[in-house]
Structure 1
Amino acid sequence: MRRTNGLARVLLPSVLVAGMLGTVTPAATASAGPKPAEPAACTWKPAILPMPAGALAGEVDAADGSGGYAGTISYGANSAKGGRAVLWKNGRFTDYGNLADPAYRKWVTVVGVNRSGTVVGSVDREGDGFPSAVRSSNGRIKRLPELPGAFASTAEGVNDRGDIIGAMTDTEDVAKWYPVIWPADKPGTVQKLTGLPDASVVATGIDEDGTVLVDVEHEVGEELYLWKGGTARKLAAPDNAQAYIPRGIANGRVIAEVTSVGNVTRSVLWDRDGQPRAVERGADIRDINRDGQLVGRTDDPSRQEFGVWQGTALAATLHRTDESGLELTVSSDDGTIAGRSWRIPGGHDEPTVWTCSGVLSTGQDTDGGTAQE
């Protein structure tokens, strides 16, 4: 529900474009901090979600926290069906399709879903490739309204109430974005978030209490803020932090990839006390659930090892095998994890959910999940 993707992930921060020309005054250290008690190790059992006949590939991009998963299925780049937003829930498969507008590409980038089944994301224009924010409504994908003068927009998350957050820009050079919310209590409207610095600003995720995670990009640095009801609070920065890729907010916790002086990147978790702490062996954390369960890639040099964390502590690892590959991108509130897997050799991506199915004493199970003691 609260995953942060899309714009915040693909835009290159100006601080990195300018190069590492100096240091940022340390504000707080991303230390390991006290580790929470590790959960019992378990076997992560994969299950492939069904796709309709003719679909070539698919993946899970978001979860609703109660057994529902949203993502995209592809019929091929040159197919008239393209890449379609879909939902798996309670044994049912719902195909929301793509945007019925010839000015847009037939591909939906899905970034979030809530428990009511509202799927949000963006669709790129055919001519220039700039995005427009979209949501599911009445079984179809539709554009979200934009403020007057907007050139492009993107949706970045949705909560169970139905509030959708994202960003817009009024200029083709996308030098400056501003954060917006499509409030659930005022359907059909969009509002700019106020009380934030005058910079390029993107709302990248939203918690269930309405707290919005905001990425603020200045010309010489970057900051993360929490915004609620018109009031913004800056998150404490890890030592020498220069750039961020926000990955999620859930139940008062925030996760992000942080780049520091020397182009050093690490995964950092802000717990409810607001202090940043380094995630053990975290190289590319992708999501967080309400209980602080993280998923993403570890620092293994092979780049083929993925992990499940409880807070900052690594609890389990899952590996590519000779028969199958995998990528973990979703941590659901019900404890499942999801993403995609593929058969080796030559298999297409398949939408996959992994469930903790039992306690292991040690070692690696036959499905690629390794218990950490």
Structure 2
Amino acid sequence: MRPRVPGRAALFAVLLSGVLHTPAAAAAPAAATACTWQASTLPLPSGTTSGRVSATDHQGGYSGTAWGADGRRRVLSWKDGTTTDYGTGGPNDQVVAQNSTGTIIGYSPIAYAPPAGHAWSTRNGKKAPLPKPATVYVSSAYAIKDNGDITGWMWGTFDGVWQTRHVRWPADRPTEFEMMPDLPKDAVVADVDDDGTMLLNFNGNQGTYAVGLWRDGTTTHLAEIPGATRTTVRAISNGRVIGETARPDATGKTATDGVLWDQDGSVHILPGTASVSGINRDGLIGAALDPDKNNDYLTGIWRLQTFDSVLGNADSSVTVVGNDGTIGGYRFNPATARSQPTIWRCGR
């Protein structure tokens, strides 16, 4: 049985007061007129019963996966009332990103011990593996430009040495790939901005959990969160970064907060949030609200540092925020244990 959900007006007031899991100095500014988000369920093809949105073209088009009783994922896109099915893969196939022309990239895991899998993109109405050498066990794509160039990484043997190499698959040469310069030591790519800036997490091998930006061979570390024991970045858009930080609260318990790094480098805790899931170029943010503080699993929408509204109900989850102001994700039906691919539009 789900915990009781507080009244929307009461929860809104609590969030604005800044008392949810938030230091007094980080209380949210008063919000402008909040959105009433209108949900639209996207259609599923015959033979599937669940689905979710994972990426957007930022022009009203979305992509994701759907599955039925066998669990195998079918890659789909939704645009202008049309659903396109790119074929069926394995039970863990993932959609990673989509560009403005509708090309989708993703990853298909094949094995886990040792790891094996391949990156793919949609082409001529189907998803097709991106090229890789026979000595590579894993290839994974993490970004696609509007011109179709794809960037990602490969893990395998190069010149007889096991290593991870970052690569580019050029759009005008679909059967080829190019090696890219090595990233800084211990860096893992979290996201890529439209101007090519890479958002990086640095793993614990350095003794810290640093986060930063990498462009033209130069690393710029993001501002640290006072008292943080671990910080992770998730997404970047138009120079703004979102992520999470863990730190002890007033009782000594480790608490996790959503964080925004703005274009000027300033860092802001998003009061009452436990994690973040998406940001668009205007600073519209989807974030999971702290379930320990509001008695249920709810998603909040922020406009930069300002809390806007609660999205739907406890069964609504955000995966991506479009530059057109729409939001993509899914709604889970606990009665049927099925997920519905969903988009939300602001209906002030």
If the length of structure 1 is used for normalisation, what is the TM-score? 0.75
**For 1:326, which of 316, 330, 340 is the aligned residue?**
316
Q: Is the CA contact (8 Å cut-off) linking 2:143 and 2:150 kept in structure 1?
A: yes
In the TM superposition, what are the counterparts of 1:41-56 in structure 2 within 5 Å? 41-56=34-49
Q: 2:258 matched to which residue of 1? A: 267
Q: 2:120 matched to which residue of 1? A: 134
Give the letter aligned to residue 120 of structure 1: I
Q: 2:67 matched to which residue of 1? A: 74
Please list every run of 5 or more consecutive structure 1 residues that lacks an aligned counterpart in the other structure.
1-29, 100-104, 359-373
Q: 2:110 matched to which residue of 1? A: 125
Q: How many angstroms apart in 1 are the aligned matches of 2:112 and 2:28?
A: 50
Q: How many angstroms apart in 1 are the aligned matches of 2:230 and 2:173?
A: 34
If the length of structure 2 is used for normalisation, what is the TM-score? 0.80
In the TM superposition, what are the counterparts of 1:220-231 in structure 2 within 5 Å? 220-231=207-218
The Cα offsets for residues 41-78 of structure 1, whole Å up to 9 and x where unpaired, read as: 12111110011122111000111111001100112336
Matched, 1:279 2:270: yes
Q: 2:137 matched to which residue of 1? A: 151
- Rate the CA distance shift 1:346–1:294 in 2: closer, same or farther, 3 A: same
Matched, 1:305 2:298: yes
Q: Is the CA contact (8 Å cut-off) linking 2:64 and 2:76 kept in structure 1?
A: yes
- Rate the CA distance shift 1:195–1:166 in 2: closer, same or farther, 3 A: closer
In the TM superposition, what are the counterparts of 1:96-245 in structure 2 within 5 Å? 96-98=86-88, 105=90, 107-126=92-111, 128=113, 130-146=116-132, 149-170=135-156, 177-184=164-171, 187-194=174-181, 196-199=183-186, 201-219=187-205, 220-245=207-232
**For 2:329, which of 336, 339, 345 is the aligned residue?**
339
- What SS does structure 1 have at the residue aligned with 2:291? coil
1:285 positional shift: 0.7
Give the letter aligned to residue 57 of structure 1: S
Please list every run of 5 or more consecutive structure 2 residues that lacks an aligned counterpart in the other structure.
1-22
**For 1:255, which of 231, 234, 242 is the aligned residue?**
242
Matched, 1:62 2:55: yes
Aligned residues: 314
Q: How many angstroms apart in 1 are the aligned matches of 2:88 and 2:25?
A: 43
- Rate the CA distance shift 1:35–1:62 in 2: closer, same or farther, 3 A: same
1:154 positional shift: 1.8
The Cα offsets for residues 103-161 of structure 1, whole Å up to 9 and x where unpaired, read as: xx354201211111111110011574533222112211122233674331222232323
The Cα offsets for residues 155-202 of structure 1, whole Å up to 9 and x where unpaired, read as: 22323233433333338xxx9755444354665444454363222x32
Q: How many angstroms apart in 1 are the aligned matches of 2:105 and 2:328?
A: 18
Q: How many angstroms apart in 2 are the aligned matches of 1:311 and 1:233?
A: 22
Give the letter aligned to residue 333 of structure 1: N
Q: Is the CA contact (8 Å cut-off) linking 1:165 and 1:206 kept in structure 2?
A: no
- Rate the CA distance shift 1:131–1:274 in 2: closer, same or farther, 3 A: farther
Q: How many angstroms apart in 2 are the aligned matches of 1:283 and 1:308?
A: 13
- Rate the CA distance shift 1:344–1:107 in 2: closer, same or farther, 3 A: closer
Q: How many angstroms apart in 1 are the aligned matches of 2:181 and 2:24?
A: 32
Percent identity, aligned pairs only, is 33
Give the letter aligned to residue 96 of structure 2: V
The Cα offsets for residues 213-243 of structure 1, whole Å up to 9 and x where unpaired, read as: 1222241223223222333322222234444
- Rate the CA distance shift 1:222–1:167 in 2: closer, same or farther, 3 A: farther
